[in-house]
Amino acid sequence: MKWFLCLIAAGLYLCLQTCVHAEPRLSRSVIEKAVIEAKATVDSAYEYSRRVSIDRVRRNVVSPADILRTLKQPVGPTRSAVRAADYMDNAIKLIKRSLEKRQKRSINATDLISEEDLQVIADLTGCSSRHRVPSCKTTPNLDYFRTAASVCNNRKNTRWGSANTPFTRWLPAEYQDKISLPKGWDPNRKIGKHLLPLVREVSNQILRTANSDVESDPLYTHLVTIFGQWTDHDLTFTPHSPVIRSFSNGIDCERSCERTEPCFPIEIPEQDPRLDRDLEGCIPFFRSAAACGSGNTGHFFGASNVRQQMNSLTAFIDVGQVYGAEDIKARFLRNLTSDMGLLRVNTEYTDNGRELLPFTDMYSNMCATRARITNDFNVEEVPCFVAGDERSNENIALTSLHTLFMREHNRLAGALAELNPHWDGERLYQEARKIMGGYFQVITFRDYLLHIVGPDVIANQLSTYPGYDENVDPSISNVFATAAYRFAHLMVQPFIFRLNEHYREHQEFPSPLLHEAFFAPWRIIFEGGLDPIIRGLVGRRAKLNTQDHMMPDEIRERLFEFSSALALDLASLNMQRGRDHGLPGYNKWRKFCGLSQPRNRKQLSKVLKNDKLARSLLKLYGKPYNIDVWLGGVAEPFVRGGRVGPLFACLIATQFQKIRQGDRLWWENKGVFTEAQRESLRETSLARIICDNTGITEVPEQPFQYQHRGTGYTKCRDIPAFDLSPWRENSP
């Protein structure tokens, strides 16, 4: 009898399961209604945000939060992808609320939404196209040249490493609700019996460094710092949703401390002097946009329902910050008035006859606003420059690298035209672009990474090229973009140095504080051009990250400070972003890298080689497991010969290992370049690029390594030119 009752119960259970999952529970009209309402809500929020942003720029009342949001604005195909994700997320939330009312209880919406329903929602919102496998059959020259967005680099997995795809996860995400809410969203919820500390409190207690206390690096130049930012802008860009107010209740994220999507404000702790300046008691923070089909969408698209963030750039070292990471932008940056394969340049100004970046055609832009609110009546308003990456105006040192390498492309295109008069503009452009990609693959691996991860890690993971492996996914990992590759924030000097031809402080154009060099293209146009800034990068030292003096207040207290408005804190932003992205804590990543996982103060003191710092961290976090991975990584003592600790050395090397091995068009891969061309690329010299594109006449031959003026500097005439002869092709 008992057996018979069990059989009946099992049958009823199977029947119930079949009834629940056999057919979609939602009619097409219900889905369409929800999608229409979601689109109206999202479009209204986007339009409101655009209107408010333009109005603030015109009235010169932009805030530092406006600046950060502008930097993170999705554009072009990225904006379409973010909008589609917002459509789908809001449509599912509307359906969930409707089902909750019907069921009169709180439920997981996806329990009653079938895969077929989700597919319809995805089709109607545009999310489906984000997961459609692109065809590579109609794309020309895939064996020789990259596509702008790097689709079809891998012939088997055509989206691997391409733009506008989710970051990859090396460890599962950790969210408060297991799906999408960041740890700390509910500040009263404990993790492992401890409350997470406020990120601003951690910043105040651990990272505070007065500008006057900054220590300079004895070995490396400030170019190492800015080149780190330059390479990051080739590999990672995490867009925000463009909205400035909550979808659910209309709250303006900049005027409230309420946590409501996409607002995740940074609370200011008691006794913080910022409380006297900010009545709301928080620093505005906008969550990163979710990738289409992630978070609250069941197991759609063959993935879990955990929220993922999107990388709008390609994962390859392809100099996308010069050329753009999508076709429309790439075409916009080209000079199509001639058939010479050139990039566009500024038509209003030059730098002592040398090219400058073109101006943006936006009517209202942050750079003109920045000029207006300096209260310097001698400053002439000019628009922002435009380049392959939207962040090119972030500071004048970064802008200078953008300008330098735009000039190098045009120099190469001109030289190739002389070698091969029969080449048309498209061939000249693609060949120059391909050489530029080779340049930076060589410079990054041969010169730059050695100074960051040290010779031991290079020998173990990044020495001899192992060849292309189509089974290696080169996509950028979330932990690399959100934590490990933000190590150079601790190497930023409080000044952007400007030096004269004798490598001394420029008398006419002295070095501005960093916060005075944000969004300031006029400083390049009217204050001496590129040469003083490039000399400052190679002739002055980077900041040294020490456990006593981590982040200077120039970026911890004055980030994007344009006026009296409350500035941002880069340290707090980094930790809040890690929580926003669901990054596991410090110990999980130490385990991932095969490193010890400290369990108590004694063990943490041993790892950090600093008992005082270990005590301070545990007082805030309770136990090492809870330490934000970015903070734990930058707190570690350096590996031998490097500028990061063992954890970040592991994560950075692992990422670059995948980037190289998973790139079909890597410069060393057979058939990408000829053997003679590879020999030329092996001799690539960053010093020579500087000499060829500026008025500078002497530089250190190794510009990343600090040298005293004199014996450590080489005349440009003594630095060999790049040999382009292997690119000579007989006329057909």
Q: Which of 690, 706, 603, 596 is nearest to 647 (CA)?
A: 596
Give CA–CA dist 424/246, Å, rounded: 51
In this structure, the dihedral spanned by the alpha carbons of residues 598, 603, 604 and 610, taken in order and rounded to 10 degrees, is -160
Query: Hey, is 16 helix, strand or coil?
Result: helix
C-alpha dist (Å) from residue 7 to 1, 2, 268, 623, 661: 10, 9, 60, 50, 55
Select from 579, 621, 589 the least CA-distant residue to 196.
Answer: 621
Tokens 């599962």 -> residue: 172
Q: What does the pLDDT look like over 672-720, one tens digit per residue? A: 999 999 999 999 999 999 999 999 999 999 999 999 887 789 999 999 9
Examine residue 393 and state whether it is found in any structural domain, yes or no: yes
Domain co-membership, 215 together with 290 = no
- Tell which wins on pLDDT, 603 or 260: 603
Most confidently modeled of 244-248, 250-254, 435-439?
435-439
**pLDDT band at residue 731 using 50, 70 and 90 as cut-offs:** confident
Q: Which of 396, 355, 513, 438 is nearest to 723 (CA)?
A: 438
- Structure tokens of 1? 């009898």
Alpha carbon of 122 to those of 129, 300, 307: distances in Å? Answer: 8, 9, 16
How much is the pLDDT for 613?
97
For 654, counting Cβ atoms within 10 Å of its Cβ (0-12 exposed, 13-18 middle, 19+ buried), the class is buried
> Backbone phi, then psi, for 205, in 5-degree steps?
-80, -35
Report the number of distinct structural domains present in the chain: 2
CA angle 706, 659, 631 (to 5 degrees): 60
Whether 205 and 324 share a structural domain = yes
**Of the ranges 130-139, 261-270, 341-350, the best mean pLDDT one:** 341-350
> What pLDDT, on a 0 to 100 scale, did the predictor assign at position 690?
98
Q: Stretch 78-84: mean pLDDT, rounded?
A: 89
Read off the tokens for 523.
Answer: 């400083």
DSSP class of 153: S
User: How confident is the model over 569-623, as pLDDT tens digits?
Assistant: 999 999 999 999 999 999 999 999 999 999 999 999 999 999 999 999 999 999 9
In 266-328, the DSSP E strands lie at 266-267, 282-283, 310-311
Which of 271, 306, 341 is at the close of a domain?
A: 306
**What are the structure tokens assigned to 347, written together?**
């038509």
Q: Are 209 and 550 in contact (CB under 8 A)?
A: yes
The structure tokens listed for 162 are: 């391409």
Residue type, 492: V
Least-confidence region, from 18-22, 350-354, 391-395, 521-525: 18-22
Average confidence (pLDDT) over 125-140? 74
Query: What's the half-sphere exposure (Cβ side, CA atoms, 13 Å) at 378?
Result: 3
What pLDDT score was predicted for residue 12?
Answer: 42
Task: Give mean pLDDT, residues 61-89.
Answer: 81
**Residues 106 and 28 grouped into a single domain:** yes
> Would you state the pLDDT for residue 296?
61
Structural domain includes residue 120: yes
pLDDT for 9? 46
Q: What is the dihedral of CA 511, 514, 520, 522, to 10 degrees?
A: 0
Nearest one of 405, 503, 442, 443 to 699, comparing CA atoms: 503
Q: Of 346, 313, 340, 350, which Cα lies nearest the Cα of 329?
A: 313
**Same-domain pairing of 209 and 86:** no
**How many CB atoms lie under 10 A from the CB of residue 52?**
15
Higher pLDDT, residue 292 or 335: 335
Token reading at 136: 């590579």
Write the single-letter amino acid at 536: G
Domain assignment present for 55: yes
Q: Give the span between the Cα atoms of 409 and 388, in whole angstroms.
A: 13
Two tokens, residue 266? 């940074």
Q: Is 131 a catalytic residue?
A: no
Question: What pLDDT digit, counting tens, does each position of 500-551 carry?
Answer: 999 999 999 999 999 889 889 999 999 999 999 999 999 999 999 999 999 9
Residue 13 has pLDDT above 50, yes or no: no
Give kind and range of the element (H or E) at residue 102. Answer: helix 76-103
Contact of 341 with 489, CB cutoff 8 Å:
no
Q: Would you say 310 and 185 are in contact if contact means Cβ atoms under 8 Å apart?
A: no
Q: Is residue 382 situated within a structural domain?
A: yes
Q: Pick the more confident residue, 131 or 715.
A: 715
pLDDT of residue 14: 41
Angle between helix 396-419 and helix 222-235 axes, rounded to 10 deg: 70
Q: What is the pLDDT of residue 295?
A: 74
The string of pLDDT tens digits covering residues 648-665 is: 999 999 999 999 999 999
The per-residue pLDDT for 562 is: 63
Helix (H), strand (E) counts: the chain: 25, 12
CB 176 within 8 A of CB 184: yes
Are 576 and 632 in a shared domain? yes
Q: What was the pLDDT predicted at 176?
A: 93
pLDDT tens-digit map of 110-123: 556 778 888 888 89
248 or 338: which leads in pLDDT: 338
pLDDT beyond 70 at 382: yes
Question: 357 and 243 share a domain?
Answer: no
pLDDT beyond 70 at 276: no
One domain for residues 244 and 370: no
Residue 444: count of CB within 10 angstroms of its CB: 20
Share of the chain above pLDDT 90, in %: 65
Nearest-angstrom CA–CA distance, 602 and 606: 6
Here the CATH number for the domain that contains residue 637 is 1.10.640.10
Is 331 inside a domain boundary?
yes
Res. 244: pLDDT tops 60: yes
pLDDT at 51: 84
Q: Determine, yes or no, domain membership for 149.
A: no
User: From CA 26, how far away is CA 39, in angstroms rounded?
Assistant: 19
Mean pLDDT of 201-229: 94
Dig out the tokens for 148 from the structure: 């702008």
Same domain, 357 and 302: no
Is 439 within the bounds of a domain? yes
Cα separation, 315 vs 327, whole angstroms: 16
Distance CA 713, CA 585 (A): 45
Distance, in Å, from the CA atom of 723 to the CA atom of 439, rounded to the nearest integer, reads 12
Give the pairing of strands 208-209 and 551-552.
parallel
Q: Is the pLDDT of residue 299 over 50?
A: no
The distance of Cα 97 from the centroid of its chain, to the nearest Å, equals 35
- d(CA 615, CA 638) in angstroms, rounded, equals 20
Coil/strand/helix, residue 662: coil
Tell me the backbone φ, ψ of residue 288, rounded to 5 degrees.
-65, 145
Residue with the larger pLDDT of the pair 295 and 732: 295
pLDDT tens for each residue of 429-459 = 999 999 999 999 999 999 999 999 999 999 9
Which range, of 23-32, 316-325, 418-427, 467-476, averages the lowest pLDDT? 23-32
Whether 479 and 464 map to the same domain: the answer is: yes
Cα 554 to Cα 144, 208, 537: the distances in Å are: 45, 10, 18
State how far the Cα of 706 lies from the Cα of 468, in Å rounded to an integer: 35
Q: For residue 389, is pLDDT > 80? A: yes
Q: What pLDDT does residue 725 have?
A: 97
Are 425 and 319 within one domain? Answer: yes
E strands within 653-732?
Answer: 698-699, 714-715
CB 180 within 8 A of CB 290: yes
Alpha carbons 630 and 578: distance in angstroms, whole number: 7
Sign, CA dihedral 453-455-460-461, equals positive
How many Å apart are CA 473 and CA 662, to the nearest integer? 6
Q: How far apart are CA 550 and CA 544, in angstroms?
A: 8
Choose, from 222, 233, 506, 515, the residue flagged as catalytic: 233
Reported as half-sphere exposure (CB side, CA atoms, 13 A), residue 1 has a value of: 0
Cβ-count burial of 105 within 10 angstroms (0-12 exposed, 13-18 middle, 19+ buried)? exposed
Q: Residue 50's pLDDT is what? A: 81
137: in domain? no
Domain limits for position 379: 197-235+313-585+628-726
Asked if 706 and 541 count as a contact pair (C-beta separation under 8 A), the reply is yes
Structure tokens, 274: 């910022």
Q: Residue 374: is its pLDDT beyond 80?
A: no
Q: Is 278 helix (H, G, I), strand (E, B) or coil?
A: coil
575 shares a domain with 710: yes
Q: Is there a single domain that holds both residue 337 and residue 249?
A: no
The pLDDT of residue 19 is above 60: no
More confident residue, 191 or 273: 191
Closest CA to 96 of 171, 180, 197: 180
pLDDT at 4: 47
Alpha carbon 693 to chain centroid, angstroms: 27
The Cα–Cα gap between 90 and 35 comes to 8
